[in-house]
Structure 1
Amino acid sequence: MKKQISTIVSIVLIIIIAIFALMNFESVEVNFGFASFQVPLVLLILICLLIGALIIFLFSSTQNVKKNRQYKQLESDSQQKQDELNQQISKLNDNLKAVETRLKNSSGKQELGSRDQQISDLEDEIAKLTDKLSSQK
């Protein structure tokens, strides 16, 4: 929408300038200090308009170049940060796997310890029962 409005305003301004230039056909003397020329006023208006447009174009071009450099720098910084975060995530995932493995080993050892305790309890009961059996004979 903004571009359309700017295009319409530009066209209207060009039409106004063209009408103004066509109304001024007489020649004028232009003095540059070291030389003076007779130039039709229409040509002088159009040349001044062209010079002004070129100046505006150059200023806007330099601004666009600066913005593009900033954008590329920010994009590079962003990519670098993403890479660092991905590395941190990878390290954290590796640490998580290591902790899970330790936890499984730890719980496995606990289970083995409780099973060993159950086995020793059962051996004790077996020993008691065999004692009872041998005493009963």
Structure 2
Amino acid sequence: MKKQVTTIISIVLIILIAIFAMLNLEKVNVSFGFTSVEMPLILLILFCLLIGALIIFLFSSTQNIRKNREYRDLQRESDERQQALTAEIDQLKESLKTLDTRLKNSSGKQEIGAKDQQIDKLKSEIEKLNQKLSSQK
């Protein structure tokens, strides 16, 4: 919508400038300091309009270049942050794996320790039973 309004306003301004130029067809003397030229007023108006349009184009081009540069810098910074966060996530995943392995080993050792205690109890019961057997003979 904004582009359409801008286009309509531009067209109206161009028509007004053309009408103004057509009403001023007489020749005028233009002095450049070192020389003077006689030309129709319509050409002078159109020439000045062209120079103004070029100046506006140059200013807008420099702004676009500056914005594009800022966008690239922000994109690069975003990519660097994303890589850093990805590396941190990978590091945390590795830490999680290590902790998970430790936990499994720890619980495995506890189970082994409990089984060793059961084996020791069974061995001691076997010895007691062996002693009872040998004492009964």
* TM-score under structure 1 length normalisation: 0.91
1:35 aligned onto 2:1: no
Corresponding residue of 1:117: 117
Distance in 2 separating the partners of 1:15 and 1:133: 125
Distance in 2 separating the partners of 1:132 and 1:56: 112
Count how many residue pairs are aligned between Structure 1 and Structure 2: 137
1:59 aligned onto 2:44: no
Structure 1 range deviating more: 24-33 or 40-49: 24-33
Give 3-state SS (helix, strand or coil) of 1:28's partner.
Answer: strand
What code does the residue aligned with 1:52 have? G
1:5 aligned onto 2:24: no
Distance in 2 separating the partners of 1:32 and 1:93: 75
Structure 2 gaps of 5+ residues are: none
- Displacement after TM superposition at 1:127 (Å): 3.0
Corresponding residue of 1:102: 102
Distance in 2 separating the partners of 1:31 and 1:128: 129
- Displacement after TM superposition at 1:134 (Å): 5.0
Distance in 2 separating the partners of 1:52 and 1:59: 11
Give 3-state SS (helix, strand or coil) of 2:24's partner.
Answer: coil
Distance in 1 separating the partners of 2:117 and 2:78: 57
What code does the residue aligned with 2:8 have? I
Distance in 1 separating the partners of 2:24 and 2:115: 110
Distance in 2 separating the partners of 1:3 and 1:124: 94
- Displacement after TM superposition at 1:33 (Å): 1.6
Structure 1 gaps of 5+ residues are: none
Distance in 1 separating the partners of 2:33 and 2:8: 39
1:23 aligned onto 2:23: yes
Distance in 2 separating the partners of 1:95 and 1:46: 72
- Displacement after TM superposition at 1:131 (Å): 4.0
- Displacement after TM superposition at 1:130 (Å): 4.0
1:82 aligned onto 2:77: no
Distance in 1 separating the partners of 2:114 and 2:62: 77
Percent identity over paired residues:
64
Distance in 1 separating the partners of 2:125 and 2:10: 103
After superposition, the CA RMSD in angstroms is: 1.5
Give 3-state SS (helix, strand or coil) of 1:39's partner.
Answer: strand
